[in-house]
Structure 1
């Protein structure tokens, strides 16, 4: 078995990686059940009342949006606010600059026509930058319910970069804590100076799927079949997926 120079085996490190991930999910399970259920009710009610469910995030938090949108077994009525400027596909630090710009969120709020009765889910690990804060504020000002996915510990230990001086967890109606720590990365690797293993990746994927399942269940409990995407790689009715896209997410 390979051994590092500090005497820790690869097997021991791998076990620690798994244990760390399991611990994060465990903390979410223990502490966030009520808020996840409450968020799912808001999301389900938006669909039942023929309102919109928007999801957005910037930087690496944009992956939360992708986890919620266009996935086999995922809710088909999610409307992603996922512009290239918010992702890392163009330049690794471009989204870092964009998410600090005052006013950008309001532009997208107008373009996507966020309005009364809608639900806006905003993912931001630090919750300190202008974009997530201003998107939540815009949504609230226009009568929408806001749900934050953030690290309360990280956000509590940093200052706001938004003009309002607020953080995402200060302005959202529902706050789901991904139970991460300051800096996100939490794992000390022997011989490596900088911590590794950002836990928000694991946490956000779990939270996204928990929200999707509970929202679908809530809708079904009200006698309506929720629209759910089928896999394009398992001989699905592709036209059904296309119909969902046209009906719910190709409107902007």
Structure 2
């Protein structure tokens, strides 16, 4: 049995599953483009390993300002696995009701914003409540889940609602139920997940379409580019310019925090 080829073939199936969602990906890109053109930000959140998708969106080579990766270390720091700051705590915290509200209390959210929430199962409390909070502010929510896995998962919320219940648009990573894709002879459980593969394809397809739309609108994005692509001097210039733009956009998310009329949902 060639398990390497098996995994590669299943990844090809994921590519096809993403390709079948081009209409939905274009819709997400249109909403995100509107946000960026309004000089606001697309908020990207994922707990656990879904954090990978938030960081895939920005900042890295081939990406550009306009996205606010909300990476909460208490929910995503896996390096130590056990002991202080271990995985058990992170898995516990991602099902603590009210944490999403406290995270978003730090930002001055506006209806021009949009949000991309990533959760393979769509059933953990913090990503669900994150989407719920955005919706309460009149902000469009795009959910990236693993459809087959999410459909079979049980919500950790007492009311049974899932991330998809608070989404205006649902995208699918294309991975199977349980995520792991390769069965090994004489091994009880499958190995090698696929949601990261599918998620990364979705993220970068959105990114490409947003870049196209921004450029067509006369506002080409400032893209982080390596010296091997544009030369060392231009690369350094682009990095500084992109980081400055990100800082200016981020400043708008803080400037009115706590003022009357803002974040009124934060104490619910």
Deviation digits for residues 4-24 of structure 1 (CA, Å, limit 9, x no counterpart): xxxx3xxx3222221111111
Equivalent in the alignment of 1:150: 145
1:49 matches 2:44:
no
When residues 117 and 163 of structure 1 are mapped into structure 2, their CA distance, relative to the original with a 3 A threshold, is: farther
Partner secondary structure for residue 215 of structure 2: helix
Give CA-to-partner distance per residue, 1:166-225, whole Å, 9 cap, x none: 101121001001122221112102232210111101001111101111111111111211
Q: What are the within-5 Å matches in structure 2 for residues 221-240 of structure 1?
A: 221-231=216-226, 235=232, 236=235, 237=237, 238-240=239-241
Structure 2 counterpart of 1:18, from 8, 25, 30: 8
Count of aligned positions: 241
How far apart are the structure 1 equivalents of 2:61 and 2:133? 31
Q: Which residue is 2:246 aligned to?
A: 245
Which segments of 5 or more consecutive residues in structure 2 lack a partner in the other structure? 79-84, 255-268
1:76 corresponds to: 65
Name the TM-score, length of structure 1 as normaliser: 0.89
* Offset at residue 249 of structure 1 (A): 4.1
Cα distance per residue 1:44-68 (max 9 Å; x no partner): 0111122221101000111110111
CA contact (8 A) 1:78 1:248 kept: no
Worse-matched range after superposition: 238-247 or 59-68: 238-247
Partner SS, residue 156 of structure 2:
coil
Query: Which of 54, 76, 79 in structure 2 is aligned with 1:65?
Result: 54
CA positional deviation for 1:229: 2.0
CA contact (8 A) 1:105 1:134 kept: yes
